[in-house]
Each structure stands twice: as structure tokens, then as C-alpha cells.
Structure 1
Amino acid sequence: MITYYAYPKCTTCRKAKSWLEKNSVDFQEIHIADNPPTKEQLAEIHKASGLELKKFFNTSGLVYRSLSLKDKLSTMSEDQQLELLSSNGMLIKRPLAWDGKKVLLGFKEADYQNNWL
């Protein structure tokens, strides 16, 4: 089963959810703003992804910009970045989907097809 972190008002999240439903993929949806992943969950997801941690930040979001994170991330430790991400789900690039092994950030139909069909 896929754990699917999304924000209901996000167009990209709605497209991804629609794709999952249309393709009968078993998933559990979690409202990313109300219930962001914990620091420990994010550390596990980050490790599984093989991506740089900065890829997990929603760089186009209002919270990211209001905190001037573009200038601050490079000086923050991984632990500090994980703490920050877990403190506010709106800082996390969405949707965030993972099945315990594979992690997808954002929505690209080809990536979803290659990983979950």
C-alpha cells in the first residue's frame, strides 16, 4: 500500500490521486498540512528516496519563501532540515508518495506508471 501525503486544494495532488484511483492502486491518503510526516518518518523516506534532502522542500510555497529558506538551507544540518520539514507539512513538496521502498515527489504520470503498475 502507498502512503500518499497530499494537500486537497493542490491541483497536482488531485491529478495524482485521480491517477491512483483510476488505476486501482491501493493507497492511504494523509492530509500533509494537518498530519505531516514525523521527523523519523521523513528521515526514513529521505533515505529510501536517494534524493538530496533539499528536493523535499516545496520551493514555490508561501511558507518556504516567507522563511527565506533559499538562503538558509545550505547552512542548516540535515537534522535541522528534517525538523523543519516535519514541523510544517506545507514546506514539503507534494504530493509525497511512498510504498516503504520507492518514493515519488510531485506528480509525473510516467513515474507513477513505472513504479506502481
Structure 2
Amino acid sequence: MSTTLFLQYPKCGTCQKAAKWLKENNVNVNSRDITKENPTKEELTGWIKKSGLPIAKFFNTSGKIYKENNLKKKVKSASEDELLDILASNGMVVKRPLIITDNFVLIGFKEEEWAEKLK
């Protein structure tokens, strides 16, 4: 398998747990701070397609920006192109952590799912 990308926000508790799990399980990843290097629209398009999940799953629904901008409403009505623009505009809008491989995308840290896919 080629390089696994780990998108995370270092101050996020869940991301810290995920990073610790990756280290303990000897999973080599390229780590990327989602706040310093936003995913691009092109990256997001590919990841969403690869994940097989609806675009709404890529939004950080518990985040401040999501709530302040009433994105819940927008996610239901905006076009996919508009939603991709929103996601690409600020890494804090994107659900994290994310694991991106050649074959799959994992959103959020679910230990059982990560163990099944990454070990």
C-alpha cells in the first residue's frame, strides 16, 4: 500500500486519540494539519467519491463555524459544488480525523473500523 494520509487538527482530542492509536499500532502515515493545509476542492471530490458516503458526512457538525453559519440548513439545500467550496474554504469545517488511502477513506475515529481497515 502506498502512503496513507492522516488529516487532523492537533488540538482536537479525538485526533490526538487517533494519532496515539496509529503510533501504538505501527501504522505509518503522512500527517497533515487540516487548519494549515486545507483539503482542496479536487482532493475532497476524490475522497468523497472514494468513500461512497454522502458529502454531508464530511462536515464537522459539532464545529463552531458549522453552527455559526447555520450550515445544517445549507448542507440540505446547496449544490454539491457549493458544498465542496465550503469544505475547501476552511479545514475546521471538515470532519476529522480523516484517513485517506488508495483504496478507502475513513472519517472520524472509530477504533474498530480503523483496526479492521488499517491492521
How many residues end up aligned between the 2 structures?
A: 117
Aligned to 2:92: 90
SS in 1 for 2:35: coil
- SS of structure 2 residue aligned to 1:24: coil
TM-score (norm 2): 0.96
**Mapped partners of 1:110, 1:73: distance in 2:** 28
In 1, the alpha carbon distance for the partners of 2:23 and 2:42 equals 28
Q: CA deviation at 1:100?
A: 2.1
Q: Structure 1: which 5+ residue stretches go unaligned?
A: none
Residue in structure 2 matched with residue 109 of structure 1 by the alignment:
111
Q: Any idea what SS the aligned residue of 2:23 has?
A: helix
Unaligned runs of 5+ in 2: none
Q: CA deviation at 1:80?
A: 0.8
1:70 paired residue number: 72
* 1:1-117 matched pairs, under 5 angstroms: 1-117=3-119
Partner-residue secondary structure (3-state), 1:58: coil
**Residue 79 of structure 1, CA deviation:** 0.8
SS at match of 2:62: coil
Runs (4+) of structure 1 moved beyond 4 Å?
Answer: none
Q: TM-score, normalised by structure 1?
A: 0.97
Report the identity percentage.
44
SS in 2 for 1:40: helix
Q: CA RMSD in A?
A: 0.7
